[in-house]
Structure 1
Amino acid sequence: MSGRSTQPVSGGADDPDVIRILVADDHRLVRTGFRVILETEDDLTVVGEAADGEEAVALAAQTAPDVVLMDVEMPGTDGLEATRRIAAAGDGPAVLILTTFDRDDYLFAALQAGASGFMLKNGSPEALIEAVRVLARGDALLAPEITRRVIAKFARPAATPPSASAQELKELTPREYEVLVLLAGGATNAEIATRLYLGEATVKTHVSRVLAKLRLRDRTQAVVFAYEHGVVTPGG
């Protein structure tokens, strides 16, 4: 059964170290299950629940979450449109798509809409908790099998020469280009710092500059851009 939303805010929601989460799903039992899983952790709190996409957009503006868990198939405004509107607002929460349906059209539509992560609902509670933390710290989350599908769809064939003349790429410094290559390989800021012998704060600055210069919204778009423009190639 579906159920209307609620907006309880736990006592730790104002703590800057606590990750604020909005859950959007048209099934009340699913929303409750996610809340129970997430709030077993001291650093996670659910600040709102939405039963459809329209409500998710409104509550995202009202409750200022760090991460939105977004179902795809909901009545009225679906999760993909809600994600698009939340992302378009700018400086908003990261959106993690959670769906029962392992469909490529949902996956690519979600990434194009601005989602920072994509998971199936049959994953483990531990995977969900880790995904929320990954998105909250500004990273993207794509499981390896999903990354392979993104590469297969967006990568240029190996025989196609890299589009090194792209104006956006010319704007990157050599160090920023290195960071883009590592981003495309799925490296976290900590892993990039280790590989390039840099501090994590410096890496974060480089990542921000790469995204700004390439006019990209997040790390997931950076992965797609890198493969589209021949910066990296499958198996390369």
Structure 2
Amino acid sequence: MENKIRVIVADDHACVRMGVRCLLEQIAHVSVAGEAVNTQALAELLDACACDVVVTDIGMPGIDGESNAIQFLRRLLYHTPQLPVVVLTMIHQPSILMGLLQHGVAAIVDKRDITASLVHAIDAALTGQGYLSNHARAAIAKAGTPQPRAGVMSAGEWKVFTMYVSGLTIGQIAARLNRSAKTISTQKRNAMRKLGLETEADVIDYACQIGLT
């Protein structure tokens, strides 16, 4: 079949990439144009390989030492809004899922729904329609209507946040970065607010979901 939908698949787990490839190779109108194991590889592949849709995890190692792919996807969606992005994830935190949609992600597929939903998500994304798999839709609906997150974290806020979830105290982070504890505490609170996290339990849950701990 001519004019197949060219898909790039990005995930740091080989078994997931293999499963997605096997699934998509059974679909007549879809072809896998390439695979990436992290955001650096994804960025290089996007420069070298034409594609129509990106299917990507967000828990992959990021560029410039980032611990996940969210910041990279924000930049990608900002600079190439015409390229549909389907997020394939196990994350079920409503504020994070809503944030992805607010930044322009075309579809979100929970990995528990992958077989039934991924092809539908790709087709919907290509035609400009939004799509949520069953588990993703249920996670958002369970929280009612989450408030939009207040802005995007700065590099400094993200650095402080990742250091904090790695186990460092506010005082230890302040000493390492040569800043005041008050400044570090403010950056940590700002990061939590922008991620839609209200409690320390939320922080731990989020960190586990995206592979920071």
Q: TM-score, structure 2 length as denominator?
A: 0.59
Distance (whole Å) between structure 2 residues aligned to residue 40 and residue 75 of structure 1: 29
- How much does 1:46 deviate? 0.6
Which consecutive unaligned segments of at least 5 residues does structure 2 have?
A: 149-213
Q: Which residue of 2 aligns with 1:52?
A: 38
Q: Which residue of 2 aligns with 1:119?
A: 109
Q: Which residue of 2 aligns with 1:137?
A: 127
Distance (whole Å) between structure 1 residues aligned to residue 12 and residue 41 of structure 2: 10
Query: Deviation above 4 Å: which 4+ runs of structure 1?
Result: none
Distance (whole Å) between structure 2 residues aligned to residue 150 and residue 94 of structure 1: 26
Q: Which residue of 2 aligns with 1:43?
A: 29
Distance (whole Å) between structure 1 residues aligned to residue 11 and residue 130 of structure 2: 21
Letter in 1 for 2:120: E
Task: Tell which deviates more after alignment, 125-134 or 81-90.
Answer: 81-90
Letter in 1 for 2:110: L
Q: Across the two proteins, how many residue pairs are aligned to each other?
A: 141
Q: 1:163-216, CA deviations, whole angstroms, 9 ceiling, x for partnerless residues?
A: xxxxxxxxxxxxxxxxxxxxxxxxxxxxxxxxxxxxxxxxxxxxxxxxxxxxxx
Mapping of 1:1-236 within 5 angstroms? 15-16=2-3, 18-77=4-63, 78-143=68-133, 144-145=137-138, 148=141, 152-154=145-147
- How much does 1:151 deviate? 6.0
| Kept after mapping to 1: 8 A contact 2:94/2:143 | no
Aligned pair in 2 of structure 1 residues 142, 126: CA closer, same or farther (>3 Å)?
closer
| Kept after mapping to 1: 8 A contact 2:94/2:140 | no
Aligned pair in 2 of structure 1 residues 150, 22: CA closer, same or farther (>3 Å)?
farther
| Kept after mapping to 2: 8 A contact 1:80/1:109 | no
Q: TM-score, structure 1 length as denominator?
A: 0.54
Question: Secondary structure of the residue that 1:152 maps to in structure 2?
Answer: coil
Aligned pair in 2 of structure 1 residues 98, 124: CA closer, same or farther (>3 Å)?
closer
Task: Tell which deviates more after alignment, 38-47 or 113-122.
Answer: 113-122
Distance (whole Å) between structure 2 residues aligned to residue 34 and residue 153 of structure 1: 30
Distance (whole Å) between structure 2 residues aligned to residue 124 and residue 113 of structure 1: 22
- How much does 1:124 deviate? 4.3
Aligned pair in 2 of structure 1 residues 122, 63: CA closer, same or farther (>3 Å)?
same
Distance (whole Å) between structure 2 residues aligned to residue 148 and residue 104 of structure 1: 8
Distance (whole Å) between structure 2 residues aligned to residue 147 and residue 68 of structure 1: 23
Question: Secondary structure of the residue that 1:119 maps to in structure 2?
Answer: strand
Letter in 2 for 1:37: L
| Kept after mapping to 1: 8 A contact 2:9/2:34 | yes
Which consecutive unaligned segments of at least 5 residues does structure 1 have?
A: 1-11, 156-236
CA RMSD for the aligned pairs? 2.3
Question: Secondary structure of the residue that 1:88 maps to in structure 2?
Answer: helix
Question: Secondary structure of the residue that 1:98 maps to in structure 2?
Answer: strand
| Kept after mapping to 1: 8 A contact 2:11/2:38 | yes
